[in-house]
Amino acid sequence: MSERFDSAPALVGRPTQPCEVLFSDVHVLDPRAGIDRRLDVRVCGGVIAELAEPGTLSDTDGPDRRCELVEGEGRHLLPAFFDPHVHLRSPGQEHKEDMETGTRAAAAGGFGAVIAMPNTDPVIDSAALLRSLRDTALREARVPVGFTAAITRGLQGGELTEMAELRQEGVLAFTDDGRPVASAGMLRKALQYQRLCGGVLALHEEDPSLSAGGSMREGPISAALGLSGIPSISESTMVARDAELAIYERGRVHFQHLSAAASVEAVAAAKERGGAVSAEATPHHLLLTEEAVRPLDTRMKMNPPLGSESDRLAIVDALRSGVIDCVATDHAPHAREEKELPFEQAPMGTTGLETAFSALYTHLVVPGLIGLPLLVERMTAGAALFGLPTHTIAADEPANLVLVDLDGAWVPGEQGFESRSENCCFAGRQLSATVLMTVAAGSIAYRRRAFSVVGA
Amino acid sequence: MSMSHLLSIEDLDRAAIERIVSQAERFAEVADREIKKVPALRGRMVLNLFYESSTRTRSSFELAAKRLSADVVNFAAGGSSVEKGESLKDTVLTLSAHRPDVIVIRTPWVGSAELVSRWCNAAVVNAGDGKHEHPTQALLDVYTLRRRLGALDGMQVWIVGDVAHSRVARSNIIALQRMGAKVTVAGPPTLIPRDIEAMGCEVRYTLQEMHRADVVYALRMQLERMTDSLVPSRREYAAWYQINSRRLRPRQLLMHPGPVNRGVELAGEIVESPRSLIAAQVEAGVVVRMAVLYELLSGARPAEKPSLRPAPEPQPA
């Protein structure tokens, strides 16, 4: 057996035809590459071949004459987004989502790659299960998928998984997402074992003794509705505890879906002390608050729950300052009949892949709360946190691109979803910015279909 | 103006509460007659759908419907297809095929009455949705107090006990304030929800200032709260929060939604005292629910609206 931990490819997708495209007169925005202007971009064989002044490249003068011409007319070409936190529900819960529908949703949202969570049925906690899932991705994934495995067998919190073997089979991270690692002793062992095998420990932070029975954030709305509340300290005390453990063990941890101001403070403090910690925030925690739960819409039931307005503002600030490193959707599809239940009975989670960019653009960039370059940076930063190359728009880079129309208007759900599920917290809201085309790992993964009916 | 459902006290302004209470007063005259029945809702069907055990609420809805000459169907979740795993939605759609005019629903889940109102054409009455609301209880409490005191304006009402788990408390905090009363909730800190002040009430953790109250409304203290460590013991709860003849002043009125745990939230001797309105509350239950059913059905006939779904085809046995 190889003793290397980078032998298996980290990202797996369905093999596809490399694309030949000329993006003519597009506004290229890649904050890391320092590009923010109109250019022509030629993609040959799935690789970015050249960037040139607008109007200087032609679809007939390239090395391959079958090149597709995309007239950009100044629309934005961005590095394709990266989502380090999605639930593709495969294996075992394909009535909610599967590898194909989930990655189709990712492509439609402009994501060039995603990382799948292991809380499936069965839980991904052995190399055999992981290999089978990788095979599924090789057949079905429309965009490359990275994998994670559980920290503890069956997410039970009792025994560590065979982390070293799982790393050799290509997992990027370990996580019991959906549940916390409740025992500090267990997480400490995982952090120690991480010195052998590497990989990130991605943590869903929740103290079950504080959150048990709760279905929304504790506060004035839960008091008025009579719903048992999940207090913000359920998350923040665990973030503080685990940051302390990670610093002590010199481990690498990533805090998932922060929802509380005190959690953000704990992450900032850990970073100041030099801890190898990173954090993500979801579009729903960046844009919505517990107020959205008042009508008892089960699409607004998620874990962690939506917080107060001051929590939301702290998360937006942290995204801006970099205390929160990246955006992650926590795309969590559930079947209609599972969500069509009284609030307390409904499962937690909202879908997010198809709406993430538009929702954040509409509600953070348009009102001037953060700039578009920063949003693009935060929507692509997840890759590096998990040891993957960052999508970049530069010659000789693999084409991971998204073409967006910032002036496009749409209402999520009106034309259905690519996801198998429709439990989207932004459904029915008027949003700006549409994804026109996504190129993932050199292949066209999504193309917006435009139908126009001509009257007789 | 007529309402189409009674899902929450939130939906009723002071005028609507007064209208229902006044209608209940007119029905109270009927209750004093030898023949207690009026034909107001003849030919209408009231469906009682109860996912939780209930004695007084269900029987008073049933009695209220019968006094208005409506037909009543009782559906209890125990012994039904619910036990076979049927969802609330499917149960409601199935029962809707019988075209009830009113569905009275109680469940242990917040918001269930509102969901039901979206799934069927019947007028829906919330008879308790988890820890959220119990609007007809609040209406009958307002009715009872108005009969005794005339008006509630400026009255001090203390709601004492397990506020966290009480739908009665939530509906009354809203209803009593709408009627002009000032509400204070008091109880063990573990049983007073954080931020409940946002509903406009004051919060106390002892009964020291309870002498200011005009009305003391004791809540039922469920015995399982002791096992959840929300209060250390029955003895300690009673020592600090029990309403007894020492704590209740002669001019103060006592209310309780029932059923009473004698010796826990109320001392036994106080239940039947002249200051107790507990029996009057039960009596009010029927006439107030008559008024609610009448209010819902005296307007447009919901049965004439087209059904959302056709009746299911009969299946061969």
3-state secondary structure string, A212-281? CCCCEECCHHHHHHCCCEECCHHHHHHHHHHHHHHHHHCCEEEECCCCCHHHHHHHHHHHHCCCEEEEEE
| A307 Cβ under 8 Å from any chain B Cβ | no
Specify the pLDDT at position B307. 36
What is d(CA B275, CA B254) in angstroms, rounded to the nearest whole number? 6
pLDDT tier at A59 (50, 70, 90 boundaries)?
confident
What is d(CA A204, CA A209) in angstroms, rounded to the nearest whole number? 15
Chain B: give the shortest CA distance to residue A290, in Å: 13
Specify the pLDDT at position B56. 84
Specify the pLDDT at position A451. 56
Specify the pLDDT at position B304. 42
Instruction: Tell me: pLDDT of A437 over 90.
Output: yes
Tokens in use for B101? 């005019």
Specify the pLDDT at position B299. 64
Specify the pLDDT at position A17. 92
Instruction: Tell me: pLDDT of B92 over 50.
Output: yes
Specify the pLDDT at position A5. 77
Instruction: Tell me: pLDDT of A42 over 70.
Output: yes
DSSP output for A393-430? -STTSB--EEEEEEEEEE-TBTTB-SSS---BTTTT--
Contact B107 A341 (CB under 8 A): no
The pLDDT tens digits for B141-156 are: 999 999 999 999 999 9
pLDDT tier at B33 (50, 70, 90 boundaries)?
confident
| A121 Cβ under 8 Å from any chain B Cβ | no
Specify the pLDDT at position A156. 97
Specify the pLDDT at position B313. 45
Would you say domain A21-77+397-447 falls under CATH 2.30.40.10?
yes
Specify the pLDDT at position A295. 95
* A259 close to A207: Cβ distance less than 8 angstroms: no
Instruction: Tell me: pLDDT of B305 over 50.
Output: no
pLDDT tier at B303 (50, 70, 90 boundaries)?
very low
Contact A296 B194 (CB under 8 A): no
What is d(CA A418, CA B217) in angstroms, rounded to the nearest whole number? 54
What is d(CA B240, CA B204) in angstroms, rounded to the nearest whole number? 12
Specify the pLDDT at position B79. 65
Q: State how far the alpha carbon of A239 is from the alpha carbons of A116, A266, A310, A450, in Å.
A: 22, 6, 18, 45
pLDDT tier at A58 (50, 70, 90 boundaries)?
confident
Contact B109 A219 (CB under 8 A): no
The pLDDT tens digits for A294-339 are: 999 999 999 999 999 999 999 999 999 999 999 999 999 999 999 9
Closest Cβ–Cβ partner in B110, B167, B195 for A343: B110
The pLDDT tens digits for A147-190 are: 999 999 999 999 999 999 999 999 999 999 999 999 999 999 99
Instruction: Tell me: pLDDT of B287 over 80.
Output: yes
Closest Cβ–Cβ partner in B109, B193, B194 for A342: B109
Instruction: Tell me: pLDDT of B308 over 80.
Output: no
Question: Which residue of chain A is at minimal alpha-carbon distance from B164?
Answer: A226
Specify the pLDDT at position B298. 83
Closest Cβ–Cβ partner in B88, B133, B195 for A342: B88
Which position has the token pair 């920290």? A151
Specify the pLDDT at position A7. 73
Q: What is the mean pLDDT of residues A251-279?
A: 98
Which positions ≥6 away from A210 have C-beta within 8 Å? A230, A231, A233, A234, A237
Chain A residues with CB under 8 Å of B170 CB are 224, 226
Specify the pLDDT at position A63. 61
pLDDT tier at B78 (50, 70, 90 boundaries)?
confident
What is d(CA A128, CA A340) in angstroms, rounded to the nearest whole number? 35
The pLDDT tens digits for B229-272 are: 889 888 999 999 999 999 999 999 999 999 999 999 999 999 99
Instruction: Tell me: pLDDT of A453 over 80.
Output: no
Specify the pLDDT at position B309. 40
Host H or E run for residue A286: helix A283-287
Chain A: give the shortest CA distance to residue B193, in Å: 6
Q: What is the mean pLDDT of residues A115-122?
A: 98
pLDDT tier at B300 (50, 70, 90 boundaries)?
very low
3-state secondary structure string, chain B? CCCCCECCHHHCCHHHHHHHHHHHHHHHHHHCCCCCCCCCCCCCEEEEEECCCCCHHHHHHHHHHHHCCCEEEEEECCCCHHHHCCCHHHHHHHHHCCCCCEEEEEECCCCHHHHHHHHCCCEEEEEEECCCCCHHHHHHHHHHHHHHHCCCCCCEEEEECCCCCCHHHHHHHHHHHHCCCEEEEECCHHHCCCCHHHHCCEEECCCCCHHHCCEEEECCCCCHHHHCCCCCCHHHHHHHHCECCCCCCCCCEEECCCCCCECCCECHHHHCCCCECHHHHHHHHHHHHHHHHHHHHCCCCHHHCCCCCCCCCCCCC
Q: What is the mean pLDDT of residues A438-451?
A: 90
- Domains of chain A, residue spans: 21-77+397-447, 80-385
What is d(CA A403, CA A391) in angstroms, rounded to the nearest whole number? 14
Mean pLDDT for chain B?
90
- The B residues from 158 to 217 touching A (CB cutoff 8 Å) are 167, 170, 193-196, 198-199
In chain A, what's the furthest Cα-to-Cα distance? Answer: 73
The pLDDT tens digits for A200-256 are: 999 999 999 999 999 999 999 999 999 999 999 999 999 999 999 999 999 999 999
pLDDT tier at A199 (50, 70, 90 boundaries)?
very high
The pLDDT tens digits for A350-406 are: 999 999 999 999 999 999 999 999 999 999 999 999 999 999 999 999 999 999 999
Share of chain A above pLDDT 70, in %: 97
Residue from B10, B109, B117 to probe the interface with A (highest A Cβ count within 10 Å): B109
Mean pLDDT for chain A?
95
Chain B residues with CB under 8 Å of A298 CB are none
Specify the pLDDT at position B34. 86
Q: Is the confidence metric ipTM above 0.90 for this complex? A: no
Catalytic residue among A40, A311, A325, A330: A330
Give ∠ CA A440-A106-A71 in degrees, rounded to 5: 55
A80-385 CATH fold: TIM Barrel (3.20.20)
Instruction: Tell me: pLDDT of A3 over 90.
Output: no
Which position has the token pair 């069965």? A122
pLDDT tier at B86 (50, 70, 90 boundaries)?
confident
Q: What is the set of domains in chain B, with CATH numbers?
A: 9-133+285-304 (3.40.50.1370), 135-281 (3.40.50.1370)
pLDDT tier at A64 (50, 70, 90 boundaries)?
low
A330 labelled catalytic: yes
Specify the pLDDT at position B302. 42
